[in-house]
């Protein structure tokens, strides 16, 4: 319409228009989700020199989610989970920390004994432990640099390490 009114040059429009592709929503192509997850995780691992993998439950959760933001939302969710993952596998615990739509029965299972604990305090504790561990590993166990990366004081970091009985 801007071309018809003379507000936009038609030759310029055709130069920048390029190719228009129509694709179906990601929710209609759930069979593509595992392929996309592995592609994005491979790129993330390469960029960050990691070797993360996905638990089967995580792949199932990704396949069952609607993804209104399509591929970009899927990629951002995967990369957010990867960023807080401390083990070699991204689990439902990482997804639960970043997504409010994770089913309650999947949240915060203890590794020992399979005890489910959905309390906010427990989830915050687990996240703090993961973030502290990640910061310490990223900073060669230097408490000063790790505290700076976490945005807390060195003494605050030491107190949390002692409270959670973390060893570095």
State yes or no: pLDDT of 164 exceeds 70.
Answer: yes
pTM of this structure: 0.57
Lookup: tokens for 114: 């399979």
Residues 85, 159: one domain?
no
State yes or no: pLDDT of 78 exceeds 90.
Answer: yes
90 bridge partner residues: 54
Domain of residue 54 covers: 26-116
**CA–CA separation, 114 and 110 (whole Å):** 5
How many structural domains compose the chain? 2
Lookup: tokens for 125: 């504790």
Residues 83, 123: one domain?
no
pLDDT at 38: 98
Residues 138, 154: one domain?
yes
* Tokens 């959905």 belong to residue: 118
Question: Does residue 128 belong to any structural domain of this protein?
Answer: yes
**CA–CA separation, 79 and 73 (whole Å):** 10
Backbone angles phi, psi at 22, to 5 degrees: -110, 130
Average pLDDT, the chain: 85
pLDDT per residue as tens digits for the range 122-159:
888 888 888 898 888 888 999 999 999 999 999 999 99
pLDDT at 137: 84
pLDDT at 103: 59
Question: Does residue 11 belong to any structural domain of this protein?
Answer: no
CB within 8 A of 156, min separation 6: which ones? Answer: 147
Residues 39, 89: one domain?
yes
pLDDT per residue as tens digits for the range 47-76:
988 999 999 999 999 999 999 878 999 999
Residues 112, 145: one domain?
no
């Amino acid at each position: 319409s801007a071309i018809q009114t003379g507000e936009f040059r038609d030759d310029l429009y055709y130069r920048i228009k390029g190719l228009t592709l129509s694709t179906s929503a990601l929710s209609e192509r759930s069979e593509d989700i595992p392929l996309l997850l592995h592609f994005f995780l491979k790129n993330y691992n390469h960029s960050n020199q990691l070797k993360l993998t996905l638990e089967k439950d995580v792949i199932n959760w990704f396949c069952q989610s609607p993804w209104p933001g399509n591929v970009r939302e899927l990629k951002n969710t995967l990369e957010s989970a990867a960023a807080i993952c401390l083990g070699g596998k991204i689990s439902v615990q990482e997804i639960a920390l970043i997504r409010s739509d994770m089913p309650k029965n999947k949240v915060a299972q203890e590794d020992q004994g399979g005890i489910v604990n959905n309390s906010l305090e427990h989830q915050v504790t687990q996240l703090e432990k993961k973030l502290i561990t990640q910061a310490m590993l990223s900073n060669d166990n230097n408490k000063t640099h790790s505290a700076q990366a976490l945005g807390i004081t060195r003494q605050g970091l030491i107190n949390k390490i002692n409270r959670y009985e973390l060893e570095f």
